[in-house]
Amino acid sequence: MIVTHQLTKKFGSLVAVDQVDLDVQAGDIYGFLGANGSGKTTTVRMLLGLVLATAGSIELFGQPIPARRHQVLPRVGALIEGPAWYGHLPGATNLSLFDASGPNAGRRSRRTRVDDALAQVGLSGVGRRPVKAYSLGMRQRLGLAGALLREPELLILDEPTNGLDPQGIHEIRDLLLGLNARGTTVFLSSHLLAEIEQLCTRVGVLDKGRLVLQEPLAALRAPTGRTIVRTADPDAAVRLLDGRVLGRQGDRLLIDGENPAQINALLVAAGVAVHELAAERLSLEQVILQRTSAGSDRVMAPTS
């Protein structure tokens, strides 16, 4: 669906994107993560042919970008960095103008497409209101409606929940899950780790322009082979487990071993009360912190 090979973008001596190999498969909800300045938006703009790569290649639907963008992009819906709208015109009119600029945009069905798109993003009641009266969150919803107008096979979204309240974020999450269930592949650039964990099937992480992680989310959240135990008598538990304790924080112990039932039986048989017992799983935040580096968000090209 999306494949890049050694994709690189330099701005003078600044390496914004550094030899990135993306692999987004049909049916994915792919979360594209990274700190501010990591190169996410530059990558997304290259995928859509808005910025030319310095080196490397891009394919969407097996076709090269930007060479075949006119054939490919009608199958793609995109929301990048808050679209520019005509503020004095209603949201529905803005979407009609946007739809009219696309290929094969039938005039007779345009009103239906616009109304359906507004309904999907929760703007049915304000579609006739001038955009200049919209809040930031409403403008973001309008941008998402524009991305949905042509029932795209692939959605490429850059921070689609920017400016939304918790209820709005929940609604957009449900919308994207529904679209994906009906066959739309979603490529979602975001910095909201909690949303990515609840929404995405695969993740890629940029660190200073480099792709440092690209794996199914389920694999990243798999048990680590260690067990977390909370007990009222941690000293007794440490003695009993005889060197298997890898870490201790108050009454919470990290045990080497992935069989919680076996550990529980051992502790209970010795009269040690167990308050909590679970296989350790790392959060997405913990995984990313392990794989990425701290410091400047800019990568300078090597000097000769």
- Any idea what the CATH number is for the domain that residue 260 is in? 3.30.70
Q: At 130, which helix (H) or strand (E)? A: none
> Which of helix, strand or coil describes residue 89?
coil
Instruction: Provide the pairing of β-strand 29-33 with 185-189.
Output: parallel
Q: Are 241 and 49 in contact (CB under 8 A)?
A: no
Looking at the structure, tell me whether residues 122 and 254 fall in a common domain. no
Looking at the structure, tell me whether residues 256 and 187 fall in a common domain. no
Q: Is residue 291 part of a domain?
A: no
pLDDT tops 50 at residue 304: no
pLDDT tops 60 at residue 213: yes
Looking at the structure, tell me whether residues 230 and 195 fall in a common domain. no
Q: Is residue 293 part of a domain?
A: no
pLDDT digits (tens, 9 = 90+) for 110-166: 888 898 999 988 888 887 889 999 888 888 889 899 999 888 999 999 988 877 888
Looking at the structure, tell me whether residues 208 and 243 fall in a common domain. no
Out of 187, 220, 253, pick the residue that ends a domain: 220
Q: How far apart are alpha carbons 288 and 209 in whole angstroms?
A: 15
Return the amino acid letter for 252.
R
Looking at the structure, tell me whether residues 204 and 64 fall in a common domain. yes
Looking at the structure, tell me whether residues 120 and 242 fall in a common domain. no
Q: Are 210 and 277 in contact (CB under 8 A)?
A: no
Out of 178, 196, 220, pick the residue that ends a domain: 220
Q: How many folded domains does the chain comprise? A: 2
CA dist 166 to 26, 32, 155, 163, 172, Å?
29, 21, 22, 10, 10
Structure tokens at 122: 């929760």
Domain that holds residue 157: 2-220
Which residues 6+ apart lie within 8 Å of 290 measured at CB?
A: 282
Query: Which of 91-95, 107-111, 295-299 is the least confident region?
Result: 295-299
pLDDT tops 60 at residue 101: no
Looking at the structure, tell me whether residues 126 and 272 fall in a common domain. no
Buried b / exposed e over 55-87, threshold 16 CB at 10 Å, is: ebebbbbeeebbeebeebbeebbbbbeebebee
